[in-house]
């Protein structure tokens, strides 16, 4: 089985490259790592490549998601493993700053997935502005077949289920973080939201002040969720995509113990993966989501 270890970066098509890049720098707090004629690569303050923007005339959308696999993993072996599952893949070189070799294929919902091994750090901590995010934490998608998508990430890429909300929203992890990808039932496959991690609650206040200074209304939050127990705030970026800023996400320090790191806000002790009831009970505190969050 292939074992993804960390989320890498998300690739977006956009109709206004300069506007979106400026937003990610001045509001979200990413750093421009490299720029080409029709592309901008942005990293977090820790030097992790987080977002790739591509200028396209089509509708703005998330087109690709990358994951790091162990450095001692052979991409040739990964290619063979994908072939066993009936998945065609393609090798590429130097597709993004700091990443030399990749293997790309398409998941069941139609999103390109890119796997890579070795990488080099990018960016400069001193240049970070805005919300000053630490890293790209997770990406959530709508998909017409949640079970099929979940089983692909579980059986092919080695992800594990952390929690469910009902039978329509699954949280999956590939490392100690509670979730790296989320899949929610929807009529068509598309992005639900993308989430960036903050240093902590103090930085959440700073992030909300940054949004306020830029006249960006909150779509939801601050709120503490039940699944993952992260404190989260949501807003919409210039391409109308939902962006989550979060902190205090549950972590599973020891997979063999089977429970998440004990926290004072857990309702269950120990807090184990489970199915949460849909509705208000799936959040610990905070306001309900606004129309800006729920509209499609």
Q: Give residue-wise pLDDT tens across range 176-225.
A: 999 999 999 999 999 999 999 999 999 999 999 999 999 999 999 999 99
- How many angstroms separate the CA atoms of 38 and 53, rounded? 8
Residue 5: in which H helix or E strand, if any? Answer: strand 4-14
Identify which of 126, 128, 110 has the alpha carbon closest to the alpha carbon of residue 63.
Answer: 110
The per-residue pLDDT for 98 is 83
Domains and CATH numbers, the chain: 4-120 (3.10.180.10), 135-290 (3.10.180.10)
Tokens representing residue 235 in the block: 């807003």
State pLDDT tens for residues 126-175: 667 899 899 999 999 999 999 999 999 999 999 999 999 999 999 999 99
State pLDDT tens for residues 86-103: 999 999 887 888 888 899
The pTM (predicted TM-score) of the whole model is 0.95
Q: Could you tell me how far CA 27 lies from the centroid of its own chain? A: 18
Tokens representing residue 155 in the block: 């059986």
Q: Where residue 261 falls among pLDDT bands split at 50, 70, 90?
A: very high
- With contact defined as beta carbons under 8 Å apart, do 143 and 183 qualify? yes
Residue located via tokens 């396209």: 56
- Least confident interval from 34-38, 44-48, 124-128, 292-296: 124-128
Q: Could you tell me how far CA 68 lies from the centroid of its own chain? A: 13
């Amino acid at each position: 089985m292939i074992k993804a270890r960390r989320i890498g970066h998300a690739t977006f098509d956009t109709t206004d490259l300069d506007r979106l890049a400026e937003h990610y720098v001045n509001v979200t707090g990413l750093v421009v790592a490299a720029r080409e004629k029709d592309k901008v690569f942005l990293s977090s303050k820790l030097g992790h490549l987080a977002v790739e923007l591509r200028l396209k005339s089509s509708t703005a959308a998330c087109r690709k998601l990358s994951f790091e696999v162990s450095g001692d993993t052979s991409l040739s072996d990964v290619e063979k493993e994908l072939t066993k599952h009936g998945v065609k893949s393609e090798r590429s070189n130097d597709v993004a700053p700091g990443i030399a070799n990749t293997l790309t294929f398409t998941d069941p919902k139609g999103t390109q997935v890119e796997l890579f091994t070795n990488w080099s750090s990018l960016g400069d901590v001193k240049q970070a502005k805005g919300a000053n995010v630490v890293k790209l934490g997770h990406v959530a998608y709508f998909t017409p077949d949640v079970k099929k998508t979940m089983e692909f990430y579980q059986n092919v890429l080695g992800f594990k289920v952390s929690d469910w909300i009902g039978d329509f929203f699954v949280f999956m992890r590939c490392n100690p973080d509670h979730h790296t990808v989320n899949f929610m039932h929807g009529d068509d496959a598309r992005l639900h939201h993308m989430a960036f991690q903050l240093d902590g609650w103090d930085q959440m206040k700073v992030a909300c002040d940054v949004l306020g200074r830029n006249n960006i209304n909150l779509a939801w939050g601050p709120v503490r969720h039940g699944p993952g127990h992260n404190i989260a705030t949501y807003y919409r970026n210039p391409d109308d995509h939902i962006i989550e800023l979060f902190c205090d996400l549950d972590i599973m320090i020891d997979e063999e113990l089977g429970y998440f790191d004990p926290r004072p806000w857990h309702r269950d002790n120990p807090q184990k993966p489970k199915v949460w009831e849909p509705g208000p009970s799936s959040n610990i505190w905070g306001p309900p989501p606004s129309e800006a969050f729920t509209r499609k």
